[in-house]
Amino acid sequence: VKNNIVENMRIGRMADRFLKAPHRINAIHEADAELIDLGEESDSVLALTTDALVEEVSSGLYDSPYFIGWMLATINFSDLAAVGADLLGLVISVSLPEEQSEEFVIEMADGISGACNEAGTFVLGGDTNEGKTLLLSGCAVGLVPKNSVLTRKGARKRDKIYLSAAAGLGSVYAFLRLFQPGKKLPESFYVPKARIKEGQLLRNFASCAMDTSDGVFHTLDTLMRVNRSRFVLFNEWEKILHPAALEVCRAEGIPPWLTLASVHGEFELCFTVAPEKEKDFLSEAGRIGWHPIPIGEVGDGWGVGVQTAERQIEVDTGSIRNLSETAGSNPARYFSELLALAKETGI
Amino acid sequence: VKNNIVENMRIGRMADRFLKAPHRINAIHEADAELIDLGEESDSVLALTTDALVEEVSSGLYDSPYFIGWMLATINFSDLAAVGADLLGLVISVSLPEEQSEEFVIEMADGISGACNEAGTFVLGGDTNEGKTLLLSGCAVGLVPKNSVLTRKGARKRDKIYLSAAAGLGSVYAFLRLFQPGKKLPESFYVPKARIKEGQLLRNFASCAMDTSDGVFHTLDTLMRVNRSRFVLFNEWEKILHPAALEVCRAEGIPPWLTLASVHGEFELCFTVAPEKEKDFLSEAGRIGWHPIPIGEVGDGWGVGVQTAERQIEVDTGSIRNLSETAGSNPARYFSELLALAKETGI
């Protein structure tokens, strides 16, 4: 808790220069999307987010044009899912090098379109430029009913912590792509979906929510700070982690929980539900065929812990987050420092 | 009219892959911003636009960090001005190279903040990344009353064509920066402002509107195509052009009207007003201290013409627009080809 988050400092040094918008409901870092009051006549709040694909493309982590397009839309929709928005759509800003093939551009557009279709929404427009490198930025908009706005803030002691589905796939995808580039992964190995329907249901049940796009520990760290409380994770890795993630961990000798610590996540929603709402929540979720995974509980104090049968182990999630800033551009160094942190932890 | 617009083809090859959003009011190319129906309960339409700074920065055309920030906000706000929106604000997506100085980032943020302040609005949020090059993309949102939506479509024969203010400054700014890089221009030489108040007033009076960000002839070409009509410009260059633009043209021996043809414009609004509304319009404009400039009239047929005392000269605005696509990345070639086109025209 003591450490400063480098990412937040970088955002802060710009944000400090801006006046606070009086009609923005959320404070900085307190929601996945910006929540804008539309005035008294409106029953809805505007939800708005922008996200770019930069290192994922330049590092080769995302290389198929369809997948690049899919991810550009999904990273933006996922932020709206985390505030429980009904989607209005996406605008995109694309800069294409002159030599980029027609085929690449069309497949990328199909990927964007595919992710829109999956989320039940549309491309509303955009801007294309010619540039020296491929640049991709998106902005998604949606509406949230004024009386059920969902943010990262609102968790209380004894709330149960959930994931919308098992995690760890984004992390092992990045591991395999960066360290075993020859290995052919099936196209379907990692195809994240924005949890739109789930987020809409959470409006009525969750006390806070955030997506796991930067990894589960990153999310827990943020939620713990925003809510000034303690997020305790159960050590039930077989339940929390995706089977494919567990398999890779076994084969490579990586501690399974480490897949939750890496900065490349998987766009699940991490959220808290008050004990008195849990039964109704699970019953409503079941109705839409959704089986959220309980992963922990909000406890006393601050920080992030892992509960084993014997004791509660402290996880220095601040340092884990900062690793991606200090070593993130060098995958080998990032991974070895992450392993070193894991050993210190003793989970 | 016969020629295809390369820029539209590039946008089209992506746009063709997307489903048309049923709640988007405007057709593609028919408004500066996307106009989204918010449902029956809402009296407003959401206006949404995204625009990136790419070549302006990589070419060095914009280099001071304050000006880069100012322009990032202004290019986006200007699109909202052209649909007559009340601004809600801006989200930005910024990727910064590790070596970018703290000072640069703060001055850029101040430029964004300055343009927000000028436009009476706010930064709502954003996303920062670390990347290899400086990438800047913005997305501005606003609201337009449902019963007075302004688009590029709606001009009728005999409508008067106006500019919100004298044009040509953006063009000579680019000329001087690219061809006389040693020449010190005063900071205030070219500081475009989004015409927000003017656009809001135009909701009640204009039959169509578009900003001149890509130059006045580009705008006239688009409006002529969207409205399937003829846009005729008066040859009153002393009235239409900014004094500083006229001065540069005189000193350099450039035909003054050519400053309207270059692709680097100045974010004025170009709009049409029906004859029966003209008197009331000018009186309301005067009330807010605004003196719009009449520059031409919508006439019979198609295309763009320049009316001299003797005759009407045809301007091949399609070829002028395409020049920026085929030669735009090479300023010297672009300028010499533009001069050649000008000579052919015989204005």
Per-residue pLDDT tens digits for A195-236? 999 999 999 999 999 999 999 999 999 999 999 999 999 999
Helix (H, G, I), strand (E, B) or coil at B53: strand
More confident residue, A137 or A11: A137
Q: What is the pLDDT of residue B326?
A: 81
Nearest to A122 among B21, B132, B328 (CB): B21
Q: Percentage helix, strand, coil, to 5, in chain A?
A: 40, 25, 35
Order of strands across the sheet that contains B312-315: B206-211, B269-273, B160-163, B293-299, B230-234, B303-307, B312-315
Per-residue pLDDT tens digits for B150-162? 999 999 999 999 9
Subunit contact B141:A46, Cβ cutoff 8 A: yes
Mean pLDDT of chain B: 93
Q: Does position A2 have pLDDT exceeding 70, yes or no? A: no
Q: Does position B78 have pLDDT exceeding 60, yes or no? A: yes
Residues ≥6 apart with Cβ < 8 Å to B248: B172, B175, B176, B254, B259
Q: What is the mean pLDDT of residues B169-180?
A: 93
Per-residue pLDDT tens digits for B289-299? 999 999 999 99
Subunit contact B123:A21, Cβ cutoff 8 A: yes
Nearest to A106 among B10, B13, B54 (CB): B13
B179 φ, ψ (degrees, to nearest 5): -105, -20
Residues of B with CB below 8 A from A109's CB? 13-14, 16-18
Nearest to A135 among B38, B52, B121 (CB): B52
Subunit contact B48:A109, Cβ cutoff 8 A: no
Nearest to B127 among A43, A51, A55 (CB): A51
Q: Does position B2 have pLDDT exceeding 60, yes or no? A: no
Residues ≥6 apart with Cβ < 8 Å to B98: B130
Chain A: closest CA distance from residue B289 (Å): 28
Nearest to A95 among B28, B52, B130 (CB): B52
Interface test with A, best of B127, B136, B325 (most A CBs within 10 A): B127
Q: What is the pLDDT of residue A170?
A: 95
| ipTM value greater than 0.90 | yes
Mean pLDDT of chain A: 93
Per-residue pLDDT tens digits for A131-176? 888 999 999 999 999 999 999 999 999 999 999 999 999 999 999 9
pLDDT band at B343 (very low <50, low <70, confident <90, very high): confident
Interface test with B, best of A14, A83, A99, A133 (most B CBs within 10 A): A14
Of A8-17, A62-71, B153-162, the poorest mean pLDDT is in A8-17
Residues ≥6 apart with Cβ < 8 Å to A110: A66, A69, B17
Nearest to A93 among B20, B50, B122 (CB): B50
Interface test with A, best of B54, B78, B90, B101 (most A CBs within 10 A): B54
Q: Distance between CA B266 and CA B298 in Å, rounded?
A: 22
Q: Does position A72 have pLDDT exceeding 60, yes or no? A: yes
Q: Distance between CA A125 and CA B34 in Å, rounded?
A: 6
Q: Distance between CA A124 and CA A141 in Å, rounded?
A: 10
pLDDT band at A1 (very low <50, low <70, confident <90, very high): very low
Chain B: closest CA distance from residue A274 (Å): 29
Chain A: closest CA distance from residue B67 (Å): 15
Residues of B with CB below 8 A from A96's CB? 10
Per-residue pLDDT tens digits for A287-339? 999 999 999 999 999 999 999 999 999 999 999 999 888 887 788 898 889 88
Structure tokens at B62: 């914009």
Residues of B with CB below 8 A from A102's CB? 13
Of A66-80, B122-136, B326-340, the poorest mean pLDDT is in B326-340
Q: Distance between CA B153 and CA B150 in Å, rounded?
A: 8
Residues of A with CB below 8 A from B52's CB? 93, 95, 127, 129, 135, 137
Percent of chain B with pLDDT over 90: 77
Nearest to A52 among B28, B48, B129 (CB): B129
Q: Does position A3 have pLDDT exceeding 80, yes or no? A: no
Helix (H, G, I), strand (E, B) or coil at A225: helix
Structure tokens at B249: 């043209």
Q: Distance between CA A296 and CA A294 in Å, rounded?
A: 6
> For chains A and B, what is the number of CB pairs under 8 angstroms?
221
Per-residue pLDDT tens digits for B30-64? 999 999 999 988 999 999 999 999 889 988 899 99
Q: Does position A241 have pLDDT exceeding 80, yes or no? A: yes
Subunit contact B129:A54, Cβ cutoff 8 A: yes
Q: Which helix (H) or strand (E) holds A103?
A: helix A102-119
Please report the DSSP string for B79-124 in residue order.
HHHTTTPEEEEEEEEEEE-TT--HHHHHHHHHHHHHHHHHHT--EE
